Chain A
Amino acid sequence: QVQLVQSGAEMKKPGASMKVSCKASGYTFTDYYIHWVRQAPGQGLKWMGWINPKSGGTDYPQRFHGRVTMTRDTSISTAYMELSRLTSDDTAVYFCARGGLRFGELLQFDRWGQGTLVAVSS
């Protein structure tokens, strides 16, 4: 069955960087985009961008430009999301999710990882 399994919870100091992994199984890793979505405590879902595992191409919304980097290792079907210059506002649960592409349109997220809690505190 399709699964996305993420790395474990982390605690970080302000100014540090974080890197979360998302290991895919049960499907061909390069056939779907991997998106990252975060959820601050008690808040809603915020999209952070995507990576195309086949090409390595990425796209990030403006609010994360310069701080987020998404990469992948196709040999182990794993995607990574790195966020730098952390502040307390980055405390959140980070999810990876699988999404398709149809004639240039980004499709729904049909599978999600379990989430990774990252707490930023001095």
Chain B
Amino acid sequence: SYILTQSPSVSVAPGKTAGITCGGNNIGTKSVHWYQQKPGQAPLLVVYDDSDRPSGIPERFSGSKSGNSATLTISRVEAGDEADYYCQVWDESSDQVVFGGGTKLTVL
């Protein structure tokens, strides 16, 4: 089955830029979506189709892809961005939805 790999944790100082990566075989051929989940809350879609933002999501959140990795970039990080972030794709070959293991973003 298809696997998405994320680093367990990322730390960043307020005002700086955080990058959260998601690796997967041939990820370049798939649409990557990113979710933010704060403790006790449901996930929130922050980026879809690699780099599009839903309405209401700040421009500080952006997505990109290169090679076998996708990256969620959060610019000018704020304390309120502290959360778990998950990448997700649909794997056509297995017809399954796959989530990465999640990355905990800590704002120092």
Q: Which residues of A contact B (CB under 8 A)?
A: 35, 37, 44-47, 50, 59, 61, 95, 97, 105-110, 112-115
Q: A61 touching B96 by the CB < 8 A rule?
A: yes
Known: A44-B86, A44-B101. A110 touches B54 (CB 8 A): yes
CA distance A95 to B44 in the complex (A): 12
Can you give 10 contacting A-B residue pairs, CB < 8 Å?
A35-B97, A37-B43, A37-B99, A45-B86, A47-B99, A95-B43, A106-B90, A108-B31, A110-B48, A114-B42
B46-82 vs A, CB cutoff 8 Å, 1 = contact: the mask equals 0011000010000000000000000000000000000
CB distance from A117 to the nearest CB of B (A): 10
Interface residues of B in 19-43 (CB under 8 A from A): 31, 33, 35, 37, 42-43
Interface of B is mostly: strand
Q: Which residues of B contact A (CB under 8 A)?
A: 31, 33, 35, 37, 42-45, 48-49, 54, 86, 88, 90, 92, 95-102
CB distance from B61 to the nearest CB of A (A): 14
Residues of B within 8 A of A109 (CB): 33, 35, 43, 45, 88
CA distance A95 to B54 in the complex (A): 20
CA distance A112 to B54 in the complex (A): 14
List the A residue with the shortest CB-CB distance to B99. A45
Residues of A within 8 A of B92 (CB): 105
CB-CB nearest 10 A-B residue pairs:
A112-B42, A108-B48, A47-B97, A108-B33, A106-B90, A45-B99, A44-B102, A44-B101, A110-B45, A61-B96
CB distance from A41 to the nearest CB of B (A): 12
Residues of A within 8 A of B42 (CB): 95, 112-115
List the B residue with the shortest CB-CB distance to A4. B42
CA distance A108 to B98 in the complex (A): 11
